[in-house]
Copies of this chain bind each other. A is one copy, B any other.
Amino acid sequence: MKIDATQLEDLALGSVFLATGGGGDPHVPLLIAKQVLSKLGPVNVIAPENLDDDALVVAIGGVGAPTVSLELLPSVDDAARTLEAFEQQVGRKVDAVASFEIGGGNSLIPLVAAAGQGVPVIDGDGMGRALPEAQMMSYAIAGVKPTPAVAYDYAGNITAFSTKSTDVYERHIRSLAMVSGGMITTAEHPMSGKELKNSVIPGTLSFSIELGRTLRENRGCSDELLAPLQAVFENSIYGECRNLFTGKVTDKATRITGGYDVGEATIEPFDGNGPALNISIKNEYLLATLDGSVIASVPDLIIIVDYETSMPINAERLRYGQRVAVFAVGCPNFYRSAKALKVVGPRCFGFELDYVPLEEV
């Protein structure tokens, strides 16, 4: 399978849905990916099972506060230069690159790096969605070490890391992102083909294109969106898809704290009758609470789409007065293990509650 420039719109659209509000706005990464793939040709996509066990794979993407990606625009070279710096640091070429997260702009960055350096990209990612911290990646949860890793900033400064734990690594890259304008590109979690197969959320790159096509073909009022969404999720690694709520954004406030966008949004029914839905945000939409009851929570996916167009809305673009529909999708099973929930459950984001799978709410 190959991905060419014509598939990128669908990929970006699907990835914004899977980003659950975070992951960084894909607009500029999309422009960059189109330009690079138009110039350099399509990128080879490898299914994880077709990768050699002793291949060297590295995950690549942007790290920082998504809000910043609207202002500190990535450059066309960032991804390839990051990969190049990584290869120089470890003294060998990589055999493939993989996504941190299929959600948002980070679905596109590996394609740009892959095209620039002439390597294939893995059909799969490290989250199946978007999540804000490195230790929340499936690679890390499955035991892949985060370093040797390399960070590259807007000015071409290069930082190489060799850390003893993912927690420390996360702290280091987060602080570097904060003093580098809020956003850096990193190549990290290098792994063998065998390690990748044991840790990747598989098939999400091709799935995101399929999801994007579904969204494109179903533009219009989101009252009509649930059936086609359910059809596309039914035969996927994801769980049930539900329409949680429809209404108008009456309040939304986030601030950048510790390198994250943190805040809340309130959505009231169109007619003003009945309880409001509250959405808790830390880069991503993490918790949907109705009338005091949690009706969906991380790591399940919570998605907000524009009511009139069915287009997903990122947290940094969510505004007072928008008419929206809120969907939830069960996360891949990988994230429902006790080991995974220890690093991505609601408590990891400061919420005093246990995860209840969407299907059991």
The residue from B158, B172, B180 contacting A179, defined by CB atoms under 8 A apart: B172
Describe A's contact surface by its main secondary structure. Answer: mixed
Contact of A162 among B159, B168, B172 (CB under 8 A): B159
Encode contact with B along A217-236: 1 for CB under 8 Å, 0 otherwise: 00000000000000000000
- In the assembled complex, the Cα of A164 lies from the Cα of B164 at a distance in Å of 27
- Min distance, Cβ A330 to any Cβ of chain B, angstroms: 35
What residue in chain B is nearest A162 (Cβ atoms)? B158
Given contacts A158-B162, A162-B159, contact A175 B179 (CB under 8 A): yes
CA distance in complex: A155, B172 (Å): 13
Count copies of this chain in the complex: 2
A294 within 8 A of B: no
Q: Kindly state whether residue A156 has any CB partner on chain B within 8 Å.
A: yes
Q: A175-B178, A178-B175, A179-B171 are in contact. Are A160 and B157 (CB under 8 A)?
A: no
Quick check: B161 and A159 within 8 Å, CB to CB? yes
Kindly identify which residue among B89, B155, B158, B176 contacts A176, using a CB–CB cutoff of 8 Å: B176
A159 touches B160 (CB 8 A): yes
Q: Which residues of B contact A155 (CB under 8 A)?
A: 164, 168
A289 interface residue, CB < 8 Å from B? no
Contacts of A172 on B, CB cut-off 8 Å?
157, 159, 176, 179-180
Which residue of B is nearest A168, CB measured? B157
Min CB gap A154→B, angstroms: 11
Question: In chain A, residues 50-91, which have Cβ atoms closer than 8 Å to a Cβ of chain B?
Answer: 85, 89
A163 at interface (Cβ–Cβ under 8 A)? yes
**Which residues of chain A (122-159) have a CB below 8 Å from chain B?**
155-159
Q: How far is the CA of A163 from the CA of B156 in the complex (A)?
A: 8
- A91's nearest neighbour on chain B, judged by CB, is B91
Q: Which of A89, A161, A179 has the most B CB atoms < 10 Å from its CB?
A: A179
Within A161-191, which residues are at the interface with B (CB < 8 Å)? 161-164, 168, 171-172, 174-176, 178-180
In the bound complex, residues from chain B placing their C-beta under 8 Å from that of A180 are: 172
- Min CB gap A287→B, angstroms: 27
Chain B residues, Cβ within 8 Å of A171: 179
Write out the residue numbers on chain B whose beta carbons fall within 8 Å of the beta carbon of A160. Answer: 89, 159-162
B residues near A179, Cβ cutoff 8 Å: 171-172, 174-175
Distance in Å from the Cβ of A153 to the closest Cβ of chain B?
8
Among B89, B162, B176, the residue within 8 A (CB) of A157 is: B162
CB-CB < 8 A to A85: which residues of B?
Answer: 162
Contacts of A159 in B (CB 8 A): 159-163, 172
A160 to B163, CA, bound (A): 11
Determine if A156 and B164 form an interchain contact, defined as CB atoms under 8 angstroms apart: yes
Can you give 6 A-B contacts (C-beta < 8 A)? A155-B164, A158-B161, A159-B159, A159-B162, A174-B179, A175-B176
Chain A interfacial positions (CB closer than 8 Å to B): 85, 89, 155-164, 168, 171-172, 174-176, 178-180
Identify the 4 closest CB pairs spanning chains A and B, nearest first: A160-B160, A158-B162, A175-B175, A157-B163
- A-B contact sample (14 more), CB < 8 A, given A158-B162, A171-B179: A85-B162, A155-B164, A155-B168, A157-B164, A157-B168, A158-B161, A158-B163, A159-B160, A159-B172, A160-B160, A160-B162, A172-B180, A174-B179, A175-B179
